Amino acid sequence: MRRAPAVPHPVRTSAVGLVAVGLLAGCGSGDRPAPGGPDDSASGVTATLTVLAAASLTDTFTQIGAEFEAANPGVTVTFSFAGSSQLAQQITAGAPADVFAAANPATMATVVAAGDAADEPVVFVRNQLVIAVPEGNPARVTGLADLTAPGVKVALCAEAVPCGAAARTALDAAGNDLVPVTLERDVRAALAKVRIGEVDAALVYRTDTAAAADEVDAVEFPESAQAINDYPIVTLAQAANPTVARAFVAYVRSAVGQAVLAEAGFQSP
């Protein structure tokens, strides 16, 4: 689990932030209390929120979590970032969590089918694939066709995770029978293979290359338009404090949360 760091940013004031505070202040006996809370005294609510989110959301959700904490004193947000399919398995196996943000609807559907979603999932952003290459693009990759050139080593995400499923869709659209040298557990792991020089390229999300722009370059390719991933988010049925969880979901979807996501390269739903 990752704890959102102490807030390094000035708090952005917005109507949505005020709504979130109001929601938390209204937490009452109808919510099953989180460990150590909530505290309904005048000093404010005390609650711990556990968010499971796709690996590609690591940077943006860490920032959003810090800002949500700042807007809601007494609330602590903790995160677990991994491949969406791995997180969905944890949820359906009973792992305690309050909010789930997946990198595609198919993964979210497994959580809904298991009865673990408290609400209807909503899409909050979209993401598109690019070809990540080491800085300077030494293999001279310009598109998917170059990935099958002799000697070019490529990393993909495993097809069970959203980035791998999207990559397979794009490759099939191009009629490309690429065989990767490695299949990784999530998009950050695939990108890491490029960063450390183990492969010449990897199919990852545009947002991940933007976050590592000082180490990798991004090569756009037209087939990615046929494999854009929608990211749904939902409050979980086992949420210890559903009001706090729903406030976080609302914050992610607010103008404040959407600005953080857009700055990282995510697309509007």
Boundaries of every domain in the chain: 2-126+230-263, 129-226
Average pLDDT over residues 252-260: 98
**Rounded Cα gap, residues 269 and 266, in angstroms:** 9
* Nearest C-alpha neighbor of 249 from the set 71, 128, 115, 119: 119
pLDDT at 28: 40
Average pLDDT over residues 17-36: 42
Q: Using an 8 Å Cβ cutoff, are 55 and 83 in contact?
A: yes
* β-pair partners for 78: 3, 50
**Rounded Cα gap, residues 71 and 220, in angstroms:** 37
- Give yes or no on whether 2-126+230-263 and 129-226 have one common fold: yes
Q: For residue 93, name the pLDDT band (cuts at 50, 70, 90).
A: very high
Tokens of 106: 């198919």
Assign domain 2-126+230-263 to its CATH architecture: 3-Layer(aba) Sandwich (3.40)
Residue 27 has pLDDT above 60, yes or no: no
Q: For residue 187, name the pLDDT band (cuts at 50, 70, 90).
A: very high
pLDDT at 44: 55
**Rounded Cα gap, residues 69 and 88, in angstroms:** 25
CATH topology of domain 129-226: D-Maltodextrin-Binding Protein; domain 2 (3.40.190)
Q: What residues have CB less than 8 Å from 263, skipping those under 6 apart?
A: none
Q: To the nearest whole percent, how much of the chain has pLDDT over 70?
A: 83
Residue 33 has pLDDT above 70, yes or no: no
**Rounded Cα gap, residues 78 and 61, in angstroms:** 10
Q: What residues have CB less than 8 Å from 239, skipping those under 6 apart?
A: 32, 97, 98, 99, 118, 245
Tokens of 82: 């991994």
Average pLDDT over residues 186-195: 96
